Structure 1
Amino acid sequence: MDRPQRYAVTLPAPPGRHRPPEVVVVHPTGTYTAAGAPVYADEAGAFRVAIEGEAARPLTALPGPVRHPCLHAVRLP
């Protein structure tokens, strides 16, 4: 099965900020985690995630004080 060429990853808004979540599109980097999960990154390469199924695990720190160990990822056509 081919690896998806891009995913939309949802970054939740900080609690109490009353703003919508941010969606970041990520593309495959051609690298893998030690566990074998494919690594995806945004266009700038600053935001990197490992994606397994519909879960994106951040490999770089997210902006702001809130840390999320698991984010929602949607395969894009």
Structure 2
Amino acid sequence: MAPIERYAVTIPGTPGAHAPPRVVVVHFTHTTGADGRPVYADESGTFRVYVSAGVAEPLADPPGGRSMQCLHAVPVP
């Protein structure tokens, strides 16, 4: 089964700042991580994640420097 091509990933706003969450669209990169899972990245390639069962796991801290372990991901047609 081919992987889903795009996901919308929700990044929460800064706690206490009353900032709204950001939604970042990531695309399948046609590469896999060390564990064999497909890698998705934003348009700039700086935000890279694994996506499985509606959860995006960043490969590094997202832009802004806050560490996120799991983020909500929704397939985008």
TM over 0.5: yes
> Match of 2:74?
74
Within 2, Cα distance between the matches of 1:46 and 1:18? 25
- For residue 50 of structure 1, give the secondary structure of its aligned residue in structure 2: strand
Quote the offset at 1:65 in angstroms: 4.5
* TM alignment of 1:1-77, pairs within 5 A: 1-77=1-77
Within 2, Cα distance between the matches of 1:74 and 1:60? 20
The answer on whether the counterparts of 2:10 and 2:24 sit within 8 Å (CA) in structure 1 is yes
Quote the offset at 1:2 in angstroms: 2.4
Quote the offset at 1:19 in angstroms: 1.4
The TM-score, its normalising length taken from structure 1, stands at: 0.90
CA RMSD, 1 decimal: 1.2
Within 2, Cα distance between the matches of 1:38 and 1:65? 23
Task: Quote the sequence identity (%).
Answer: 55
- Structure 1 runs (4+) deviating above 4 angstroms are none
The TM-score, its normalising length taken from structure 2, stands at: 0.90
